[in-house]
Structure formats: C-alpha cells, structure tokens
Amino acid sequence: MNPETFPHQAALLEYAEAHDLVYAWEGTRSFEKRSRTLSPEQFQIVTVHTRRQSRNDCLIGYSINLVPGYADSRNLVVSGSSPR
C-alpha cells in the first residue's frame, strides 16, 4: 500500500517514479475524472504538504492511465514532468 501522506511534493514525485505511478493534482480535470470514473482499487488519494497548505493528489498506476479513454493527460504528471 502507498503512503497516505507525503511531507512535500518532491517526495511524492520520487515515490511515483520509483513505483511506476502517475499522479493528478486536486482541482484539475484529470483528478476529477479519475476519482469519479476509476474504481477505488485503481487509485489512491494521498495528502501532500506544500509551503502554504496541504492538498490531495490522486496516485494512479501507469498502466491504468494507458487504458483508452484515460489518455487525456493535460493535467496528469508522469515521471517527473511538470504539471501543465
């Protein structure tokens, strides 16, 4: 099971890269779409602490993101890329 809390964004990025995961930021279309359409077994909501606040991110297995219909990754962060 994945950790439920990350002390900072870099820790989430490192964890995602090490475990072949992608993540979507709360408040993005990608986050809303995946949290609404994927089953609870296919993603995990985690808390990430930032300088100003804590926020939720959605961790998703990379292979799940490749399923047709989930390829829209405008707000999805993959392997160290910056959010768009």
In a domain, 24, yes or no: yes
Question: Tell me, what's the pLDDT at 65?
Answer: 53
DSSP assignment, residue 81?
A: P
Q: What is the rounded CA–CA span in Å between residue 5 and residue 65?
A: 22
In a domain, 84, yes or no: no
Question: Tell me, what's the pLDDT at 7?
Answer: 92
Domains in the chain, number: 1
Q: What is the rounded CA–CA span in Å between residue 51 and residue 44?
A: 22
The answer to whether residue 81 scores a pLDDT higher than 50 is: no
Question: Tell me, what's the pLDDT at 71?
Answer: 45
In a domain, 83, yes or no: no
Q: Domain limits at 28?
A: 5-78
In a domain, 14, yes or no: yes
Q: What is the rounded CA–CA span in Å between residue 19 and residue 17?
A: 6
In a domain, 35, yes or no: yes
Provide the whole-model pTM: 0.68
**pLDDT tens digits, one per residue of 3-61:** 788 998 899 889 988 988 888 888 888 888 888 888 888 888 899 998 888 888 888 88
Question: Tell me, what's the pLDDT at 63?
Answer: 61
Q: What is the rounded CA–CA span in Å between residue 54 and residue 69?
A: 30
Q: What is the rounded CA–CA span in Å between residue 55 and residue 84?
A: 17
